Structure 1
Amino acid sequence: MVIRTMGFLRLALHMLLSLMASAYFGGGHVANGADVPVQLNDDVLGLIVFKSDLSDPSSYLGSWSEDDTSPCSWRYVQCDPVTGQVTEVSLDGLGLSGKVGRGLEKLDHLKVLSLSCNNFTGSVGPQLALPSGLQRLNLSRNGLSGRFPTSLLNMSSIRFLDLSENSFSGPLPDGLFGGCSSLHLVSFAGNMLEGPIPSSLAQCIFLNSLNLSSNRFSGDPNFAMAIWTLQRLRVLDLSNNMLSGPIPAGVSAVHNLKVLLLGGNRLTGQLPGDVGLCPHLTALDFQDNLLTGPLPWSLRNLYSLVSLSLANNMLTGDFPNWIGNMTSLQYLDFSSNKFAGSIPTSVRNLQSLRYLSLSDNGLSGNIPLSLAYCSKLTVIRLRDNSITGSVPGELFDLGLQEVDFSNNKLVGPVPPGSSRLFQSLHTLDLSRNNLSGDIPAEMGLLSNLRYLNLSWNGLSSRMSPELGYFQNLTVLDFRNNDLYGSIPGDICDAGSLAILQLDGNALIGPIPDEIGNCSSLHLLSLSHNNLSGPIPQSISMLSNLKILKLEFNELSGELPQELGKLEDLLAVNVSYNRLTGRLPAGGIFPSLDQSAIQGNLGICSPILKGPCVMNAPKPLVLDPYAYGNGPRDGHRHRHEGSSHNHMFLSVSAIVAISAAFLIACGVIVISLLNVSARRRLAFIDTALESMCSSSSRSGSLAMGKLILFDSKVCPEISLSNPQSLLNKASEIGEGVFGTVFKVPLGTQGRMVAVKRLVTSNTIQYQEDFDREVRVLGGARHPNLIELVGYWWTPQLQLIVTEYASNGSLHSKLHQRLPSSPPLSWATRFKIMLGVAKGLAHLHHSFHPPIIHYNIKPSNILLDESNNPKISDFGLARLLTKLDRHVMNNRFQSAPGYVAPELTCQSLRVNEKCDVYGFGILIFELVTGRRPVEYGEDNVMILSEHVRVLLEHGNVLDCVDLSMAEYPEDEVLPVLKLALVCTSQVPSSRPSMAEVVHILQMIKTPVPHRMEPY
């Protein structure tokens, strides 16, 4: 510390001398004109001052020393080989934080300054004086905020300016582009900028790329009149703003334009008639606007167009026959418009087409056979039209991944498919058509199929046992067909099924007991069939079940009492069956309304009128009509006339009553004995506690003392009674393993967190407890909460850890106040990477590895710089066994985070359980949503929601909107990584070391930046 202080003093002295020399000697010359060599290097001084405002947790800038005479040997710094002056400083993706402060103005020859992908915060004030010769400035992907930096005004030398993905707000200065004659690229995307786009932009005559997307720019697009004069423009992205009004003509003047993106605004009127006169266009996006009218005729000239999206407008006219002219098209989306007519046969010319969406229009006619010539097609969506005819079997010979023809007027059979389709198809939706015939047996060969919906058709087929072959199926919907036969017992052999809907068919027989194998099932709906027999008890094994619908069948017997243990069950309907007896006592059943249980023979419930029939084999009947439940008096008298012994007990009744009396007496005796035993045990416990307390006060180590691993933390602490510690505590949380308190420790008042452990199954010998806690105390890592010490007695165990001042990730994601800013993508990614490094340290630096077992946002704490620190790691080591009580609390307190293998009786706790929880954590960070969310009539499982969106090609719809902007090239691979981490098969999940390296490659794919965990 003394050395560092002296270094800064020496630096300050150097700077003072330099400034005095510059001011007094006029930049290095004495009064008599003789040259005096400058002794101090301004580049060194400027960079050291700049570094002094930064936090460099990984010491990337360790080579930057104020004692050096030149910075040319420093990492991330480049110099001119002739003059030795600094020309480039590139600090991208180093995890730096702090503010962009002074010092850079000393670098007179700086040409390139790149600080992207860091955690810089605060505003860029006018005091920031950048070198006048700066050509490239990149501050993207940070947390910078405030008004647009006025220090960038009139920087005539800048050619590349990227401030994207920050939190800059307010309008752009009118004179921003006053001296932009050198500008080639401008990107302000992903901020919160608002107001009109300055008309001075027209002065940037050399501009090649302009990206102002994902801001709040408003007003009519008349500014485009000026933009159309920028004849060197190649890329124009104004998408996802609040621009309104018609798009002015004149785009054809930008003859070299390649990318035009205006989607996600409020533009009205028709498409520009001359847009097709830009022959080099490769991407054209007008989706999510209010555009009307037909397509301009000039579009047919865009032979080089690769991507065309006009979705979610009000465009009219027939689907264009000239679409076949666009032979380079790979992506075509005309969905949610008012196009009519039929799909032309000219689509056969689209040999490069991969994605085709024409959903939600007014298209009619047949699906053209020529569509099968588009051999690269992977996604085809034609839902919500009036298309007729049959499904061309030739289409099912392609390597399609998604087919959605739902809600049309298709007839005929379901094509069987080919070997190529069997390997590729993951989504098939043919629902709400008029299809008929059998369900092809070949469907069982669709090994990657995850979503299958054939509901609301006229399919007349036996429920095939081949349905059990689907290894990855999550949704199976066959509602409202003419299916017959029984439900195959192997329907859940794959174990991945989450939604099973077979309502409205002619199914018979019992519900198979094997239904309990559907361990992932959330929705089971078998209503409106002819199913019979009892409701299988195995349904109670479906711990994830949320909705159970069995109404309008012939089911009989009593509801299994074990169903009351399904605590996640939200909706049940068993009405109009032949059920009898009591409802289960637990779960949702006591709160069911009449509509959910009416129409049965005799369910016992106070909300139902009529008989209550118990399903006992030999009921004890004293007077079946004693409580007014029986028939009218006349009916009763007929019974009395036919039998005169109704007032006397039968022999079997007497025997049964005697047995019941003896049992009751036995229960009373045993209860009295238990009470006596409990009193003796309580007396013993009290005596032990008294002994322990007195021993503690006497300072006995074995009977209780605060053990600190580092005596330097609080050397004056020598507590012999924890009560004096807890008296000053304030409770801040409660978890599976105990209650957490915030406590000032020592005379200095250092805050620590104290967890009072639950004593159930905790290690009962101090030596064993001390050994395990010291192992956890040795797990030191920047992303782990430091273990400070512990208190132990047989009756009380405390764990003392460092206190994280910024709260938990849970509070930042789900309990954020409106006045608090949301977490930026850079911060979220930093949290992901930090948590991954912490877990990798636990898994790979200890033998046996330390398993966290309870990864979730409430166990991820944040310091003042939002660096993540994992808490509660390894506490399972302090238990002699993971008993059922702890496991049940674990499942209840962390729904959605629990790895599927933990629901098994074997309780196989290994590193892959943490990997699963980390994958769920990624989903939560990216989406801002909880892993399980309950609606009025549905349940959203976040991992499945993201998986389905990814399969449908619109996964970015799930990204947290509060981030304003995010890099798609990072979000997409991060979500795919999360899907791999949450694989149902533990062996398919990566190790945490692999996760760390993958995240580092996603963020900064540069070899020398790959740091170990």
Structure 2
Amino acid sequence: MAIRTMGFRHLVLYLLVSLMATAYSDDSISVQLNDDVLGLIVFKSDLSDPSSSLVSWSEDDASPCSWRYVQCDPVTGRVAEVSLDGLGLSGKIGRGLEKLDRLKVLSLSRNNFTGSISPQLSLPSGLQRLNLSRNGLSGPFPTSLVNMSSIRFLDLSENSFSGPLPDGLFDSCSSLHLVSLARNRFEGPLPSSLAKCIFLNNLNLSGNKFSGNPNFASGIWTLQRLRVLDLSNNMLSGPIPAGVSAVHNLKELCLRRNRFEGQLPGDIGLCPHLTALDFGDNLLTGALPALLRNLYSLVSLSLANNMLTGDFPDWIGNISSLQYLDFSGNEFTGSIPASVGNLQSLRYLSLSDNGLSGSIPLSLAYCSKLTVIRLRDNSITGSVTGELFNLGLEEVDFANNKLVGPIPPGSSRLFQSLQTLDLSRNNLTGVIPAEMGLLSNLRYLNLSWNGLSSRMPPELGYFQNLTVLDFRTTACMAHLAILQLDGNALTGPIPEEIGNCSSLYLLSLSHNNLSSPIPKSVSMLSHLKILKLEFNELSGEIPQELGKLEDLLAVNISHNRLVGRLPAGGIFPSLDQSAIQGNMGICSPILKGPCVMNVPKPLVLDPYAYGNGQGDRHKHRNEGSSHNHMFLSVSAIVAISAAFLIVCGVIVISLLNVSARRRLAFIDTALESMCSSSSRSGSLAMGKLILFDSKVCPDISLNNPRALLNKASEIGEGVFGTVFKVPFGVQGRMVAIKRLITSNIVQYQEDFDQEVRVLGRARHPNLNALIGYWWTPQLQLIVTEYAPNGSLHSKLHERLPSSPPLSWATRFKIALGVGKGLAHLHHTFHPPIIHYNIKPGNILLDENNNPKISDFGLARLLTKLDRHVMSNRFQSAPGYVAPELACQSLRVNEKCDVYGFGILILELVTGRRPVEYGEDNVVILSDHVRVLLEQGKALDCVDPSLTEYPDDEVLPVLKLALVCTSQVPSSRPSMAEVVQILQVIKTPVPHRMEPY
């Protein structure tokens, strides 16, 4: 109540001052002073000031010139500047500012102002600088806020302003020098009136959704006073406008992350003052213009992630001022020229992911200021230049090349600076240098998949800041989280000191030559979730203490020399055969072969050592022998009896199974339609079309299916084969025919027929119906419905600019439909049909955008449902594969589909891919959304193409998706529960649930 009263009081005072200004115009100075005081007081009344920064602003003062953050003109005594940057203020920008009619500068950046700006609010006409950056303001561009004829500095960056900019917005911009609208949500074409801002020298429109070609109607390069132009991170397209050489004084040009195509304009090389040039992440093609060699002032040059071709330019050494050079992700060929050694100021060099060959030039060591060098994913040969390891490098990434020889030992300068070293997937040999232990700041080390050989050193503790260690040799300490040493030739025991790595959650030492028993200290790793020790020479019994690791989710100890009992607790009782096979004597009912117990023999005292003579000893030994013989006979009888009972039981069960199968076969045949091609009398006809539904039986014979499956009819390719669109029958009905891959697919028609018929009975409005199949030993086809609207993947990620984006209502309908289809597969069939590969590419859309799940159950056609094979087969869907699919020791059930469905929901809401690879990092969508949700900014991740959506539906859908993507399968809901939750979200009032 006190706050309301104060606000009302200020409003009354404000109105009184306005009346006084009208009634007493002769006493202008006194009234004007009160205008400034009361205008600021009214402005303050609309604010929340948590730090009491404006406590000095008092309505009792005659002048505000002594107030903090307020500056007055010394001549007029009027308020000329109000700067409230970074004070944590929130609320709205109120109309009290309108009374400050001599205000020149208003800066409210780095606060918490939210909401849209009232269209009735107009600031004083003489305002020259307006800075509202880094707030939470939204709505359209506030056209009434500023007078474009007087404003010189306009910064609205890092807000949530949206919508298009009026084309005539800058018609009167004769005074404008700087415009920054960066990192908002503006869209549409750039205003052609921008070309009228002839004095503009800094223009930053980055981080929006501007589209079209930035030619500003009369030409972007007519702004001849332009010094800085940043249009990065938009949706601009077409060729880069020609004529850049007209902007003779241009210093920084950034067009990164757009859709520009074609060749680089050759006349860019005629801008001699350019210091920064960034065309990365576009669709540019062709060779580099020769004139680029004339940019002697360049400090930063990035052309990363385009499709540029040609040899790596030898003239690069002429640009001696370069500090940052990034040509990664292109198609450059040839070798790295020796002239690169002329770049004495170079600090960052990235040439990764090209087609470069040859060796690393020795002259590169002359770049004494170099801190980052990335050459991964090329075909570079030779050895690692030892001189490079004498520099103060912070990051070295030479992964996936053809390097040979040993790892250089490095210098004392390197020991203090190096943070990241990745030499994985080369042909390096020799031992790991002992000096590695002196790398005190190392955080990431990857020497995996080379030919290195060494013993695992016990001196764990040298790498004080290491968080990821991937030798696949080691050392570690309390903060190490991931330790991967797979795929080398490491020997010796696993050090007991491994138990000091208390933060480890992944320990992987597979595919080495490690020996000796598993140390008991592993049981001290209380956070351990994954333990992979397969394909070594480990021996002895598995420490029983490992059963106390409650967080352990995946274990693989196969193909060692381990013996004895498995630990009784934790995950060990539920390990499957693939996780423990290949050992010489592990005791488990799921393994065949000997069970070796390394139990020490008890200490036995001979009772006759101090007895009465040899005769007594002989007598007792005979009695013992007779007793043992009797005992063994009884044991043999019991064993034979048990074996006989087991054999009888197997025979009875087999007979019952045969009988049951015959009854099921009879029922199946009776229920299925009797098309001439689907008869099962006698043996199945090879090379004929088997159809499951009489309604689709065409009056044709499919004698030569290969003639229909031509390249012109191909519409897609998946993990199980290639899909073709084919007209079918007399009426030419379109169907989709999938030509299955032949590897790992069942090879007998009877087995194939049995599995496919189960899938043929899976009919649901949200399943892409299976119509029939064709089988020969060389060719297997699956015939399904054809979905005219393509896949969800194409709608989300391959949409043409002319096509409208999916609305929220359509996206929700797709999510609910997919949920119902999966629930039908999981809860109607016993055992449930698991899809294993839920992703947008397997969600087809009919003419009304109703979802149809395709490829469901095709995993049943694999000869062996091996987890490793499955995870490799589905590696084309990064981010969708549930973590347990990659762990052979975890039992996989329908919860892996729930995980994929959760990722699918996230992709529907955000419009982003589940895994996005940036220049310096990898964005995992589920982690990104989870962080935003925890920060209360979940709506920031919503697909920007969604202009309208209900918050009360989007937020719970995001939360549901995160629950579905839990790393622990048991924490995920069932699909039936998911469908019910979605129905409640859509209709939050009491209602009757629809069946799935």
Q: TM-score range by the shorter chain?
A: 0.5 to 0.7
1:75 is paired with a residue whose SS is coil
Q: Which range is displaced more, 239-248 or 388-397? A: 388-397
What is the distance in 2 between the residues matched to 1:468 and 1:288?
Answer: 41
Matched, 1:290 2:273: no
Equivalent residue number for residue 598 of structure 1: 581
Q: Deviations over 1:307-342 (max 9, x none)?
A: 011111111011001101111100000011000111
What is the distance in 2 between the residues matched to 1:557 and 1:386?
Answer: 43
Matched, 1:374 2:367: yes
Matched, 1:569 2:552: yes
> Is contact 1:492–1:518 with CA below 8 Å preserved after alignment?
no
- 1:593 is aligned with what amino acid? D
Alignment match of 1:646 (pick from 624, 632, 635): 632
Q: Following superposition of structure 1 onto structure 2, how do residues 266-415 of structure 1 map, counting pairs within 5 Å?
A: 266-415=259-408
- 2:920 is aligned with what amino acid? N
Equivalent residue number for residue 142 of structure 1: 135
Matched, 1:17 2:10: no
> Is contact 2:456–2:492 with CA below 8 Å preserved after alignment?
no
Q: Which runs of 5+ in 2 are unaligned?
A: 603-624, 637-807, 810-881, 891-917, 942-996
In 2 relative to 1, CA 17–349 (structure 1 residues): closer, same or farther, beyond 3 Å?
Answer: same
> Is contact 1:225–1:248 with CA below 8 Å preserved after alignment?
no
- 1:268 is aligned with what amino acid? E
Equivalent residue number for residue 920 of structure 2: 954
> Is contact 2:115–2:139 with CA below 8 Å preserved after alignment?
yes
Equivalent residue number for residue 221 of structure 1: 214
- Superposed displacement of residue 435, structure 1: 2.3
% identity of equivalent residues: 78
Equivalent residue number for residue 566 of structure 2: 583
What is the distance in 2 between the residues matched to 1:232 and 1:957?
Answer: 39
What is the distance in 1 between the residues matched to 2:37 and 2:461?
Answer: 70
- RMSD, aligned CA: 3.4
In 2 relative to 1, CA 612–211 (structure 1 residues): closer, same or farther, beyond 3 Å?
Answer: same
- Superposed displacement of residue 614, structure 1: 4.9
Equivalent residue number for residue 762 of structure 1: none
1:403 is paired with a residue whose SS is strand
Q: Following superposition of structure 1 onto structure 2, how do residues 412-427 of structure 1 map, counting pairs within 5 Å?
A: 412-427=405-420
> Is contact 1:224–1:248 with CA below 8 Å preserved after alignment?
no
Matched, 1:524 2:507: yes
In 2 relative to 1, CA 429–649 (structure 1 residues): closer, same or farther, beyond 3 Å?
Answer: closer
- Superposed displacement of residue 472, structure 1: 3.5
What is the distance in 2 between the residues matched to 1:242 and 1:437?
Answer: 50
Alignment match of 1:257 (pick from 246, 250, 254): 250
Q: Following superposition of structure 1 onto structure 2, how do residues 476-875 of structure 1 map, counting pairs within 5 Å?
A: 476-479=469-472, 492=475, 494-610=477-593, 614-617=597-600, 643-647=629-633
TM-score by length of 1: 0.59
Q: Which range is displaced more, 440-449 or 197-206? A: 440-449
What is the distance in 2 between the residues matched to 1:393 and 1:554?
Answer: 34
- 2:632 is aligned with what amino acid? H
- Superposed displacement of residue 42, structure 1: 1.3
Equivalent residue number for residue 25 of structure 2: 28
What is the distance in 2 between the residues matched to 1:40 and 1:512?
Answer: 79
- Superposed displacement of residue 465, structure 1: 5.9
Q: Deviations over 1:389-413 (max 9, x none)?
A: 2222221221111111121122222
Q: Deviations over 1:231-253 (max 9, x none)?
A: 11111111111111111111111
Q: Which range is displaced more, 229-238 or 537-546? A: 537-546
In 2 relative to 1, CA 123–642 (structure 1 residues): closer, same or farther, beyond 3 Å?
Answer: same
Matched, 1:80 2:73: yes
In 2 relative to 1, CA 13–597 (structure 1 residues): closer, same or farther, beyond 3 Å?
Answer: closer
What is the distance in 2 between the residues matched to 1:502 and 1:957?
Answer: 25
In 2 relative to 1, CA 493–269 (structure 1 residues): closer, same or farther, beyond 3 Å?
Answer: closer
- 2:186 is aligned with what amino acid? L
Q: Deviations over 1:669-694 (max 9, x none)?
A: xxxxxxxxxxxxxxxxxxxxxxxxxx
What is the distance in 2 between the residues matched to 1:411 and 1:36?
Answer: 84
Q: Deviations over 1:236-287 (max 9, x none)?
A: 1111111111111111111111110110111111111111111111111111
1:104 is paired with a residue whose SS is helix
> Is contact 1:492–1:517 with CA below 8 Å preserved after alignment?
no
- 1:447 is aligned with what amino acid? S
- 1:599 is aligned with what amino acid? G
- 1:515 is aligned with what amino acid? I
Q: Deviations over 1:321-379 (max 9, x none)?
A: 11011111000000110001111111121110000010111111121111111111111
> Is contact 1:125–1:150 with CA below 8 Å preserved after alignment?
no
- 1:646 is aligned with what amino acid? L
Equivalent residue number for residue 653 of structure 1: none
Q: Which range is displaced more, 338-347 or 953-962? A: 953-962
Q: Which range is displaced more, 460-469 or 235-244? A: 460-469
What is the distance in 2 between the residues matched to 1:106 and 1:428?
Answer: 61
1:328 is paired with a residue whose SS is coil
> Is contact 2:485–2:508 with CA below 8 Å preserved after alignment?
yes
In 2 relative to 1, CA 454–467 (structure 1 residues): closer, same or farther, beyond 3 Å?
Answer: farther
- 1:362 is aligned with what amino acid? G
> Is contact 1:154–1:176 with CA below 8 Å preserved after alignment?
no
Q: Following superposition of structure 1 onto structure 2, how do residues 976-991 of structure 1 map, counting pairs within 5 Å?
A: none
> Is contact 2:148–2:176 with CA below 8 Å preserved after alignment?
no
- 2:509 is aligned with what amino acid? L
> Is contact 1:404–1:430 with CA below 8 Å preserved after alignment?
yes
- Superposed displacement of residue 153, structure 1: 6.2
What is the distance in 2 between the residues matched to 1:163 and 1:293?
Answer: 37
> Is contact 1:202–1:227 with CA below 8 Å preserved after alignment?
yes
What is the distance in 2 between the residues matched to 1:592 and 1:502?
Answer: 23
2:335 is paired with a residue whose SS is coil
- 1:382 is aligned with what amino acid? L
- Superposed displacement of residue 12, structure 1: 4.1
2:38 is paired with a residue whose SS is helix
- Superposed displacement of residue 616, structure 1: 4.4
- Superposed displacement of residue 11, structure 1: 4.2
- Superposed displacement of residue 642, structure 1: 10
> Is contact 1:214–1:965 with CA below 8 Å preserved after alignment?
no
> Is contact 1:246–1:270 with CA below 8 Å preserved after alignment?
yes
1:221 is paired with a residue whose SS is coil
Q: Deviations over 1:597-627 (max 9, x none)?
A: 12234434444445555554569xxxxxxxx
What is the distance in 1 between the residues matched to 2:443 and 2:7?
Answer: 62
In 2 relative to 1, CA 521–102 (structure 1 residues): closer, same or farther, beyond 3 Å?
Answer: same
Equivalenced residue count is 639
1:150 is paired with a residue whose SS is coil
Equivalent residue number for residue 57 of structure 2: 64
- Superposed displacement of residue 76, structure 1: 1.2
- 1:142 is aligned with what amino acid? N
1:275 is paired with a residue whose SS is helix
> Is contact 1:28–1:37 with CA below 8 Å preserved after alignment?
no
Q: Which runs of 5+ in 1 are unaligned?
A: 480-486, 620-638, 651-817, 820-932, 940-951, 967-1013
- Superposed displacement of residue 212, structure 1: 0.7
- Superposed displacement of residue 37, structure 1: 6.7
1:141 is paired with a residue whose SS is coil
What is the distance in 1 between the residues matched to 2:422 and 2:289?
Answer: 33
Matched, 1:179 2:176: no
TM-score by length of 2: 0.60
Q: Deviations over 1:536-590 (max 9, x none)?
A: 2211101222221122334344332321222222221011233344433433323
Equivalent residue number for residue 242 of structure 1: 235
- 1:560 is aligned with what amino acid? P
In 2 relative to 1, CA 467–396 (structure 1 residues): closer, same or farther, beyond 3 Å?
Answer: farther
- Superposed displacement of residue 460, structure 1: 4.3
